[in-house]
Amino acid sequence: MSTVDELTGQKVEKTALTINSSDDFARLRGMWSQMPMIPKVTRVEEAPTVKFPGSTIHVLLNGEESGGSVSVFYQVVEPGFGAPPHHQPNEEEHFFILEGEMEMTIGNQTIHATPGTFAFAPRNATHAFKNNSDKVCRFLTWNSPGGHERMFEAGQRMAQERMGDPEARRKILTAHDTIFHDPSPTTRGVNS
């Protein structure tokens, strides 16, 4: 058996680093790149969750577990919710619709995404999504390199603290490699 196989299912401690700037985020990703990739099998209901009004995100694979290469999420978005236009300057994002419907914008194209729809947002590509139906939408997303879960965690803290200062919100999101085109607190979305 190889050494990597012996790591299967190993629990990995969260890297202790507060993200206050994009340099901090880059430093964190650099630290992860020195860590081993951990073979993992999990179920959605066993995964850690991050919650926003109208959305639950199950973290299937995080940056620490993937050696910083990728983060994978199972998302459930309620009717009327989503993420407003944004982009990531240093990561790619992929989407795959499993159940339900989603209005999705990638670059300059907006589509009605249904089960089986795949979308790819490369670095700097504007993307957004919103569940305009009357049923939940379930989909997979993965971001490369890893670390997008840290932005979700920061967004959850902002929602819990009811952070109304748009400039403070913009600074926190930008530090986590996510640039919202309208960071106002009135935007009804996953990351607001």
Q: Which amino acid is at 52?
A: F
Instruction: Read off the DSSP letter of residue 164.
Output: -
Q: Please provide residue 165's backbone torsions phi and psi, each rounded to the nearest 5 degrees.
A: -80, 105
In a domain, 70, yes or no: yes
Q: How many domains are there within the chain?
A: 1
Has residue 62 got a pLDDT over 50?
A: yes
Domain-embedded: residue 113:
yes
% of the chain residues with pLDDT over 70:
91
The angle at the Cα of 145, spanning 171 to 76, to the nearest 5 degrees, equals: 75
**Could you list the residue range(s) of the whole structural domain that residue 83 is in?**
49-180
The CA distance from 177 to 182, in Å, is 15
pLDDT of residue 26 exceeding 70: yes
DSSP 82-144: EEEEEE-TT-EEEEEEEES-EEEEETTEEEEE-TT-EEEE-TT--EEEE--SSS-EEEEEEEE
State residue 163's pLDDT score: 61
Q: What share of the chain is helix, strand, coil (3-state, %, to 5)?
A: 20, 30, 45
Residue 28 in any domain: the answer is no
Rounded to whole angstroms, how far apart are CA atoms 101 and 97?
8
CA 140, 143, 148, 149 torsion-angle sign: positive
- CATH (domain of 151): 2.60.120.10
Task: Give yes or no for residue 188 having a pLDDT over 60.
Answer: no
- pLDDT above 50 (res 114): yes
pLDDT digits over 127-185, tens only? 999 999 999 999 999 999 998 888 888 877 777 776 667 777 778 888 888 888 875 54
Residue 39 CA, chain-centre distance (Å), reads 21
Q: Is residue 61 part of a domain?
A: yes
The residue among 166 and 29 whose pLDDT is bigger is 29
Q: What percent of the chain has pLDDT over 90?
A: 54
Predicted local confidence at residue 9, as pLDDT: 78
Tell whether 134 is covered by a domain.
yes
**List of residues 6+ apart from 65 with CB closer than 8 A:** 12, 37, 38, 40
Q: In which band, very low, low, confident or very high, does the pLDDT at 104 lie, cut at 50, 70 and 90?
A: very high
Q: Which residues contact 40 (CB under 8 A, 6 or more apart)?
A: 8, 9, 61, 65
**pLDDT value at residue 162:** 64
Question: Would residue 116 count as lying in a domain?
Answer: yes
Residue 19 lies in a domain: no
**112 contacts 71 by C-beta, under 8 angstroms:** no
Of 119, 130, 62, nearest to 94 by C-alpha is: 119
pLDDT at 64 > cutoff 70: yes
Greater pLDDT, 41 or 168: 41
